[in-house]
Amino acid sequence: MSFSQLKKQSSLGNLTSKLVKEVEKMNGNGGGSGADERFWKPEVDKTGNGYAVLRFLPAPDGEDLPWVKVFSHAFQGPGGWYIENSLTTLGQKDPLAEINRGLWNSGTEADKETARKQKRKLSFYANVYVVKDPANPQNEGRVFLYKFGRKIFDKIMDVMQPEFEDESPINPFDFWQGANFKLKITKKDGYWNYDKSEFDRPGPLLEDDDALESIWNKEHSLSAFTSPDNFKTYEELQRRLEAVLNRPVSGVREEVTPVELEAKASRPNFERKPEPVEDDFDYGSQSSMTDSDDDALSYFAKLADS
């Protein structure tokens, strides 16, 4: 797709059926940032506050989505740290996901606590243009990769699918009709909090199309983060888990034996209403999609039909 086609797509107000198909493929069904100069990271002052203005950029040339998502795990066991991308990112079975599902469904709080400790983490990657960075002014006017979590992604979805009738949808990844993102970080309970972050009024990032095209050409590939090369095989992850947990790992049993059924039937109050799980951590399904992804698909479908 050429830059002129990108601008035409913006003027039409849709993201094309091809984009919708890519999200649908995600619904049918990692990378890591590392310490390299391609990534922009916010900084906070001594009080724990941070501020910057970013512009989320369109999909890089030759790619379909302006972001990618990656599931990963990071926890410490008896045999060391387990820091690995989850195969659920690719819509595949993952040994730790299977273990966690078994722990969560066991019915004991101790097992649920272990599953929480080992739960998968959802990260998003996108290209951003740094409009303002008071902590590092040298970053202003440059293109970076930005890794962020569900909180910021939900804010993106909030402007793409506004809740109230007097609010117009905004595609924050659009050069001409998007909006700058005012990243506001505060410290809450010892952690960074992004609740005060917000999008500015819609408008072009720059008035000069040549300058915009130059920015577009500087974007980094996003598809690399979900390339199979960035993921270990099921067997490799299983061996790593065995080393970290200091025990054999064989996954979870899909069926319950008659003996187990009889034992469970004798327990009082065995039938329990399912409890809500935390974050994106749903061990009842192999699907790697989240509610936010379904919202994105719905939004893109509406745009394509407009």
Helices (H), 94-208: 95-104, 109-117, 150-160
- The predicted pLDDT at position 13 comes to 60
* 14/196: higher pLDDT: 196
b/e per residue 75-103 (b: at least 16 CB within 10 A): eeeeeeebebbbbbbbebebbbbbbbbbb
pLDDT band at 301 (very low <50, low <70, confident <90, very high): very low
Report, as an integer, the average pLDDT of 217-224. Answer: 96
Identify which of 59, 70, 227 has the alpha carbon closest to the alpha carbon of residue 147: 70
pTM equals 0.74
- The predicted pLDDT at position 18 comes to 52
d(CA 117, CA 61): 39
pLDDT(267) > 50:
no
> Between the ranges 66-75, 158-167, 244-253, where is the mean pLDDT highest?
66-75
Strand partners, 130: 54
pLDDT(83) > 90:
yes
Least confident of 50-64, 126-140, 217-231, 276-290: 276-290
pLDDT(184) > 60:
yes
- The predicted pLDDT at position 9 comes to 75
**Residue 149 burial (CB < 10 Å; 0-12/13-18/19+)?**
middle
Structure tokens at 26: 């995600």
pLDDT(284) > 80:
no
Radius of gyration, alpha carbons of the chain:
22
Percent of the chain scoring above 70 in pLDDT: 74
pLDDT(74) > 70:
yes
Q: How far is CA 291 from CA 98, 102, 153, 249, in A?
A: 21, 22, 11, 30
d(CA 222, CA 31): 9
Q: Which domains does the chain have, with CATH numbers?
A: 3-305 (3.90.198.10)
* 4/145: higher pLDDT: 145
Structure tokens at 159: 């402007």
Structure tokens at 20: 């919708």
